[in-house]
Amino acid sequence: MLTFFGLPHFLRDRLPPLCVSIGVFDGLHLGHREVIRAGIAEARDSGVPCAALTFDRHPLALLRPQQAPPMLCTLGERLRLLEAMGLDIVVVVPFDHQFASQSPEQFLNAVLIESLNTNRVVVGHDFRFARDRVGDAEWLSERIPTRVVPPLEKDGERVSSSRIRAMVTSGDVESAARLLGRRFSMEGIVVPGSQLGSTLGVPTANLAAMEGIVLPGNGIYAGLASVEGKVYLAAVSVGERPTVPGAGFAVEAHLVDYTGGALYGRAMRLEFARRLRDEERFDSVDAMLVQMQHDIEAVRHVLEDVHA
């Protein structure tokens, strides 16, 4: 998959006609995948390469920052997911004031036709674009062949990033996974913590999560931790750690059966499989340790087939 950051004006005369799917594709959930699959099918039927046009941030992060939602995944994760779908080209456009101020005609001519040599477009049913969101799929379809993909529903409701985001923040990661088509995950760098877990014989890795990514609701989760290509069962705590005075908020994971050294400075990815319980304030550290052991056994039970 070829990936361009910015519009590839220098390749305009070398690009063949493209079928382009357009969207933010935050989380690349099942609804987004329908748009991408439709674009790939349209491209193959037309004998042209399939491309996706996406953006480096949510438009609201520029236009109304106070209302911008946290993202469901990083840009890097979004690109990995798009590549896995079999696209030929992905173009990541910086969503800046110049781009946001374009008229529909400018977007069509300067971006789609002049830069990308687009000869057909695939979008979702609610696609809007250009200054003040005045452009839509109907406008495009009058000027360039456009396929509009209808909304995808699960459990009687439309699959959407906002719906999934609400599930994640409430801790319902299992429902979120059904709409994402994969487990919700987050990634970041392991940073030093209070060392209490190591003292108790249950060391944890504290994740400095990427800024702007949605956080699961406070609680204890069964999940998976990936570090340097290896995957471990993980008991993950998200929250304020109320038993330890002054501990503060953290996302920390105990990697089950991990026998290596400190993970500080390494990249770690956490996948959330199931919420096990609420955060609790224990009367003593010993009582907390007993519960931690129960949580580890629960993780083994929930994910017993993962490493089989």
Cα gap 146→270, rounded to integer Å: 38
Q: At residue 9, what is the residue type?
A: H
Half-sphere exposure of 172 (CA within 13 A, CB side): 11
Name the amino acid, one letter, at 199. Answer: T
Four-CA torsion 240, 243, 244, 250, nearest 10 degrees: -20
Listed in sequence order, the residues at least 6 apart from 267 whose beta carbon sits closer than 8 Å to its beta carbon are 187, 188, 189, 190, 227, 228
Q: Of 52, 56, 57, 54, which Cα lies nearest the Cα of 69?
A: 57
Please tell me what DSSP assigns to residue 73: S
Write down the catalytic residue from 77, 187, 252, 271: 252
Asked if 5 and 57 count as a contact pair (C-beta separation under 8 A), the reply is no
CA-to-CA dists, residue 273 to 142, 181, 233, 278, 284, angstroms: 45, 12, 10, 15, 28
> For residue 71, how many other CB atoms are within 10 A of its CB?
22
- Pairwise CA distance, residues 20 & 168, whole Å: 30
Pairwise CA distance, residues 138 & 161, whole Å: 23
187 is catalytic: no
Helix, strand, or coil here: 103?
coil
How far, in Å, CA of 148 to CA of 171, rounded?
A: 33
Can you give 106-136 as a three-state secondary structure string? HHHHHHHHHHCCEEEEEEECCCEECHHHCEE
Catalytic positions? 252
